[in-house]
Chains A and B, each alone.
Chain A
Amino acid sequence: MAPALAHVVLISSLSREYTDGVNEFEIEAQTLYDVIRVLDRRYPGLGEHLEDQTSVAIDGEIYEVGYYHRLRPGCEIYFIPKIEGG
């Protein structure tokens, strides 16, 4: 499968801490692994933060962050705070 462009959005606290306020990216990726690696190359340390501290919404569906999530062309990816219930 050829890489496709994914639209990636970080919440503001992440962009403040790691990306000088840039919070939207277009990234060529087949899987979430590709997205994380690209972001981590650009902003060292961001990848580990995303893996450990966020959940991810792919086209609105919320998942634990996992390398194995396959992405459709044009998908929307939001890294959001991980939620814990009662």
Chain B
Amino acid sequence: MDAKTIKQEEVLKVVGTRPVRPDGVPKVTGLARYGADFALPGMLWGDILRSPHAHARIRGIDTSKARALPGVKAVITSADFPEQKYEFLGPERVAINFWHMTRNIMAREKVLYEGHAVAAVAAINKAVASEALRLIEVDYEPLPHVIDVDAAMQPDAPLLFEDMITRGVEPAPARPSNVSKRIEFKLGDTEAGFAAADEIVELSFKTAPVHQGYIEPHGCLARFDADGQGEIWASSQGHFVVRAYTARLLDMNIGDVLVHPAEIGGGFGGKTVVYIEPVAALLSRKTGHPVKIVMSREDVFKATGPTSGSSMTVKIGVKKNGKIVAADGVFKFQAGAFPGSPVMNATMCGFAPYDIPNVRSVGYDVVCNRPKSAAYRAPGSPISAYAVESTMDAVAARIGLDPLQFRLMNAAKAGTQTAWGPKHAHDGYAETVKALLDHPAYAAPLAKNQGRGVASGFWFNNGGESSATVHITEDGSVAVATGSMDIGGSRASMAMMAAETLGVAYDQVRAIVADTASIGYTHVTGGSRVTFATGIAVVEACNKVIDELCARAAMIWNVGKGEVVWEQGCARFSGQDSGKFEPLSLKAIAAKRAVTGGPIGAEVSVNAGGAAPGFASELCDVEVDPETGSVKILRFIVAQDVGRAIHPSYVEGQMQGGVVQGIGWALNEEYIYDAAGHLLNAGFLDYRVPVASDLPMIEAVLVEVPNPNHPFGVKGAGEANIVPSMAAVANAVANAIGRRLTELPMSPPKVLAAIDSGRRG
């Protein structure tokens, strides 16, 4: 893609302002329609029977009693889904194996985690569906299970797949194991680098698996016509992905499935996959009725993708002057019941903020008896950043350097070689560190039992395929449609970029999310890609519309098209005697649309490249209660390079939200299992996410180093903010109590134990 000219801040009228959000009124009045809000005449309720075992062979399923229950219209098991070929398709990190996916939707030979779907029913109401589930008899042969990643890697660990040979190892291992894949990235000579170091710090860490914690449970409605066409209403982060996966799992043509995007109540990566949509669609096909399925919160916790728990060791070698000369990281991630943890991202992102001549990063993707992991906000990067940034802090303390100055002197910039190969093409990291150094809070005094921590992080912001249409309505207002689910304010940002490009007021533009039949393919809302990639599609569509508007004006004035320019929202005659025509507004040209050729609009589909990565640096002040081990967040500042904020309030909200999730990950959140592998805290009362009363106002500092590959300089804002948060909190706690905890969450009993060990020591 050719470099674009970024519009300078001083000429922007809409970008960078904070108009009222277009989705606000329907949400606060309760009129917004989420996945569970749709209904159709004749609709049935679907429900899913889930495994009580963490690991068991399925010897048989008897559904006869359930089928005989009055009001039950269909019962399905895995036998009703077509078998899928065993093959990994698509790119590394998200390689899809439909053999695995269909088994995650509905267990076949074995159940691999408590909550694994085993059968489903469709009935006239929820009560009958629930009763029918109780009548399904499953003959299980319970098997030993394993959840912890280190335990799952032991040679004698129970195997989830008896024939799984580790990929990425040569020669290939002779014996199967739970290690699905080994990944390694290497730059320089780490052995020589460590030999040249004056100081070496090596630490090991563990993190608990955590859930994305979206407020809205998965919900969908599916309708299947007798002619083989299906229609789905669902909340997701990508209705095109729902369409593609459902079609594949039910052996349909993609074009025979129409997916309507519902409003979404949070996803954070967890709604980039399907769980219930193919089940509802199959039940609808069996019954001839629309079928609705809504997960309970317990189902969400037990059967949908959390992110990985991990075990990690990081080693950093440094010269006395503070220059890092070598780094090594080993990252072992739980994939859950099927391969595909975000460990590759972790290995690539962990050391990415730094200019290190010798670095090695090794990752292991390990299956275990818990739900298949799904993407979670900068997948993998916060986990490796926790280990790397905690070790960085320990290194800074060892050599007596200020932790921010230490990071700044080793900061990667444009031209720095990465461990995975190419050189960084963009600056932005050092600017986030400087933003914290310049912040008065960094020098603010701390009281007894208080501590301050800093940390940084990197995330690849993505580009990719997106589509947009822009239409000028009959009265000259503007209708924008895209294929990107609006999960973080994209309807506002798309309308703002369109308004800015067209030179009209924001309230003259209305943006919507179109269904899969009404707009071109658009990849998921994830990877912080939408404002960048879909934004480019919108701007290019606007530019095509402007070309057409100029042509229409030329026709109205009977002049050459080359004599018309578009300025300040109007077509203006630029030929000789330029004052002889009054400028034509959108409204004036729209009024003449019929006589000048008909409706005015454009559709643009792009495969946007040149997305610049995001860096964030964060400062956290805590107070630790020495009697209880409770940690209170006193202050939190996040400085993130976002390129340019289209709607700063939304961007600040993204930054604050990412930090809050990171704080929960650091202090509270974890899956607690009993000895049999049963999840004991499958609800928000016992799985404790931070709430407003737990937190101070998170201060968002927008750092704007524009991306030259986007018309307005956008880099992406949704994910880099969560990357440093756990390490920032951990470093603050270490600073407060004089002991470093190396396991998340840092719940009060663990903090108290660390304090007590200090008292004894």
Contact = CB atoms under 8 A, between A and B. Distances in A.
A63 B459 CA distance: 15
A82 B92 CA distance: 6
B327 interface: no
A16 B425 CA distance: 27
B424 interface: yes
A86 B378 contact: yes
Contact of B92 (A53, A69, A86): A53
Contacts of A57: 421-422, 425
A83 B609 contact: no
A contact face: mostly helix, strand, loop, or mixed:
mixed
Given A81-B344, A84-B379, A85-B378, A53 B609 contact: no
Interface residues of B, number: 55
Interface in A51-77: 52-55, 57, 59-64, 66, 69, 76
Contacts of B170: 16
Interface string A25-43: 0000000000000000000
B206 interface: no
Given A62-B611, A63-B609, A78-B421, A86 B379 contact: yes
Interface in B168-184: 168, 170, 183-184
Contacts of B608: 64
A42 B465 CA distance: 30
B329 interface: no
Contact of A83 (B90, B425, B462): B462
A66 B607 contact: yes
A55 B421 CA distance: 12
A63 B610 contact: yes
Contacts of A69: 1, 609
Contacts of B424: 60
Nearest to B184: A12
A9 interface: yes
A11 B187 CA distance: 11
Interface stretch (B27-35, B489-497, B525-533, B668-676): B525-533
B contact face: mostly helix, strand, loop, or mixed:
loop
B429 interface: no
Contacts of B183: 13
Interface string B172-209: 00000000000111100000000000000000000000
B345 interface: yes
Contact of A66 (B345, B376, B609): B609
Contacts of A86: 212, 268-270, 272, 375-379, 526-527, 719
B460 interface: yes
A11 B425 contact: no
Contacts of B414: 60
B709 interface: yes
A9 B345 CA distance: 19
Contact of B526 (A64, A82, A85): A85
Contact of A61 (B95, B379, B425, B719): B425
B526 A84 contact: yes
A83 B423 contact: no
B420 interface: yes
A33 to B, nearest CB: 14
A62 B424 CA distance: 10
Nearest to B716: A85
A28 B273 CA distance: 41
Residue of B94, B170, B378, B422 contacting most chain A CB atoms (<10 Å): B422
Contact of B420 (A76, A80, A82): A80
B290 interface: no
A16 B415 CA distance: 27
Interface string B598-613: 0000000001111100
A84 to B, nearest CB: 4
Contact of B269 (A62, A81, A85): A85
Contact of A63 (B1, B89, B415, B426): B1
A81 B418 CA distance: 13
A64 B90 CA distance: 13
Contacts of B609: 61-64, 66, 69
A83 B527 contact: yes
Contacts of A63: 1, 463, 609-610
Contacts of A59: 422-423, 425
Contacts of A53: 90-92, 95
A10 to B, nearest CB: 9
B526 A62 contact: no
Contacts of B92: 53-54, 81-82
Residue of B90, B95, B270, B462 contacting most chain A CB atoms (<10 Å): B462
B683 interface: no
A80 B91 CA distance: 10
B648 to A, nearest CB: 22
Interface in B278-301: none
Nearest to B167: A13
B93 interface: yes
A84 B422 contact: no
Interface in B69-97: 89-95
B464 interface: yes
Contacts of A66: 607, 609
Contacts of B611: 62
Given A60-B414, A63-B609, A84 B423 contact: no
B15 interface: no
A81 B422 contact: no
B220 interface: no
A57 B426 CA distance: 12
Contact of A85 (B184, B185, B459, B465): B459
B348 interface: yes
Contacts of B461: 85
Interface in B249-269: 268-269
A35 to B, nearest CB: 15
A76 B608 CA distance: 20
Interface string B140-176: 0000000000000000000000000000101000000
A59 B92 CA distance: 22
A16 B7 CA distance: 45
Given A85-B459, A85-B527, A60 B423 contact: yes
Nearest to B708: A61
B422 A80 contact: yes
Contacts of B268: 86
Interface in B1-17: 1
B310 to A, nearest CB: 16
Contacts of B465: 64
Contacts of A9: 421-422
Instruction: Please name the 8 residue pairs, one residue from A and one from B, whose CB atoms are nearest each other, closest first.
Output: A85-B527, A86-B269, A63-B609, A60-B425, A82-B91, A57-B422, A86-B375, A78-B421
Interface of B: 1, 89-95, 168, 170, 183-186, 212, 268-270, 272, 344-345, 348, 375-379, 414-415, 420-426, 459-465, 526-529, 607-611, 709, 718-719
21 contacts: A11-B185, A11-B421, A12-B184, A13-B183, A59-B425, A61-B425, A62-B422, A62-B460, A63-B1, A63-B609, A76-B423, A80-B422, A83-B93, A84-B379, A85-B462, A85-B527, A86-B212, A86-B272, A86-B376, A86-B377, A86-B378
